[in-house]
Amino acid sequence: MSVRTVWMVVLIGWGAVLAGCGREAPEPAGFAGLGDSLSSAEAGDFRQPRAGDRIRLPRDLGPHPDVRIEWWYLTANLTTADGQPLGLQWTQFRQALVPRAPGDSAPAAETWPLQSVWMAHAAVSRPDEHHFSERVARGDIGHAGARAEPFSVWLDDWSLRTTGHGRVWQLSVAAADWSYDLTLRPRRAPVRHGDNGFSAKSASGEGSMYFSYVDLAIEGQVTVDGVTQSVAGSGWFDREWSSQFLRSDQRGWDWMALQLDSGARVMAFRLREADGAFLSGTWIGPDGAVQALTGDDFTLEPDQRRAFATGTVPAGWRLTIPAQAVDLNVEAMPGNFWNRGLYPYWESPVSVSGSHSGRGYLELTGYEAD
């Protein structure tokens, strides 16, 4: 998704860039303040996805300059050559400041335009060890961008690009003391969440367009503190965009993507509200059949918490989908997986036990300490 973090993270990144440009940055006020980042008139100029909209590929792998925010997001559960677990995250966000019709040309770079801001996050996670890095760039001047064909997303030297006539993706990230260079191969057709790609985020209709590649074969190399290891495993790639931010009474996001050993895949999230939570998800059977899940179809409840100076998080969960005979215990890898960027949030590999075994990723927002 990552709304989850994006709603706040990109806004603050925008504020950091604006401050560097001499413009006054808005004061963040949590999820409740995001809708105030633009005036009503400015917000009305952006296109808002709605039920009935359809996803078109490969076009929608590229940017949507007429919406306010979008992201490209990868998580991976890998194993080193000596059998040790390792998790990876990479996300790139685009926050629009000025809407632009999809067919319009970008402004000339030499005019130093400020129509969009980009932010990228990347992390490497092992048991009791977590490395995170963050970058922010101004759009339309060459430092960051995206395109659909050939598919490419980049911010400086961090990039996700297609090779092999679009059948293979290459992800390269290098931080101060760690890096990774990975080859990704989609093994299934992309999955459209919600109503044929429109994913509701509340009972009142806020939402986004959302699709995923739920089964990527991944191999490559990861270097941490000068030690390079070969890795292999599987990943999950999300693509999402919207112009309508979360409601002011939604306090945070709990999201997970699970790859079960049975061949099934599950995406589930809940948005915490003043009087409960809004739940949504997707069940992908071993045969590839897709079922949209509502709050009447499954339960998602925390059953384990971990306390840190950054905040206390529900690091263990129970997920049930009665119609599929699913009763899962989802537990974060041992350790502290707070991403301590401009806006802290939790992102961890998880193991799955219970009625099914497997692995996946967990993202939590809105738990940071005051």
Domain membership of residue 270 (yes or no) is: yes
- 201, 3 Cβ separation under 8 angstroms: yes
User: Could you tell me the pLDDT band of residue 23, with boundaries at 50, 70 and 90?
Assistant: very low
Domain membership of residue 189 (yes or no) is: yes
Look at residue 316 in the predicted model and tell me its pLDDT.
Answer: 98
What number is the average pLDDT over the span 103-124? 85
Query: Is the pLDDT confidence value at 22 over 80?
Result: no
Query: Is the pLDDT confidence value at 299 over 90?
Result: yes
Q: Which CATH number characterizes residue 10's domain?
A: 2.40.370.10
What's the start-to-end Cα distance of the chain, in Å?
A: 25
Three-state secondary structure string covering the chain: CCCCCHHHHHHHHHHHHHHHCCCCCCCCCHHHHHHHCCCHHHHHCCCCCCECECCCCCHHHCCCCCCCEEEEEEEEEEEECCCCEEEEEEEEEEEECCCCCCCCCCCCHHHCCCCEEEEEEEEEEECCEEEEEEEEEECCCCCEEEECCCCEEEECCEEEEEECCCCEEEEEEECCCEEEEEEEEECCCCEECCECCEEECCCCCCEEEEEEEEEEEEEEEEEECCEEEEEEEEEEEEEEEECCCCCCCEEEEEEEEEEECCCCEEEEEEEEECCEEEEEEEEECCCCCEEEEECCCCEEEEEEEEECCCCEEEEEEEEEEHHHCEEEEEEECCCCCEECCCCCEEEEEEEEEECCCEEEEEEECCCCCC
Query: Is the pLDDT confidence value at 20 over 50?
Result: no
Identify the domain containing residue 338 by its residue range.
6-100+109-364
Domain membership of residue 151 (yes or no) is: yes
Look at residue 43 in the predicted model and tell me its pLDDT.
Answer: 56
Look at residue 19 in the predicted model and tell me its pLDDT.
Answer: 42
Q: Return the minimum-mean-pLDDT range out of 65-74, 94-103, 116-125, 185-194.
A: 94-103
- pLDDT tens digit sequence for 310-333: 999 999 999 999 999 999 999 999
Number of domains in the chain: 1
Of residues 269 and 342, more confidence is placed in 269
- pLDDT tens digit sequence for 223-262: 999 999 999 999 999 999 998 766 667 788 999 999 999 9
Domain membership of residue 369 (yes or no) is: no
- Residue 37 to residue 53: CA distance in whole angstroms: 25
Look at residue 44 in the predicted model and tell me its pLDDT.
Answer: 63
Look at residue 172 in the predicted model and tell me its pLDDT.
Answer: 98
Query: Is the pLDDT confidence value at 16 over 70?
Result: no
What number is the average pLDDT over the span 297-308? 96
**Mean pLDDT across the chain, nearest whole number?**
87
Query: Is the pLDDT confidence value at 278 over 80?
Result: yes
Query: Is the pLDDT confidence value at 25 over 50?
Result: no
Domain membership of residue 133 (yes or no) is: yes
- pLDDT tens digit sequence for 58-92: 999 999 999 999 999 999 999 999 999 999 999 99
Nearest to 290 by CA among 55, 30, 90, 64: 55
Domain membership of residue 33 (yes or no) is: yes
Query: Is the pLDDT confidence value at 290 over 50?
Result: yes
Look at residue 41 in the predicted model and tell me its pLDDT.
Answer: 40
Query: Is the pLDDT confidence value at 367 over 80?
Result: yes
Domain membership of residue 234 (yes or no) is: yes
User: Could you tell me the pLDDT band of residue 370, with boundaries at 50, 70 and 90?
Assistant: low
- Residue 97 to residue 140: CA distance in whole angstroms: 12
Domain membership of residue 1 (yes or no) is: no
- pLDDT tens digit sequence for 127-177: 999 999 999 998 878 789 999 999 999 999 999 999 877 789 999 999 999
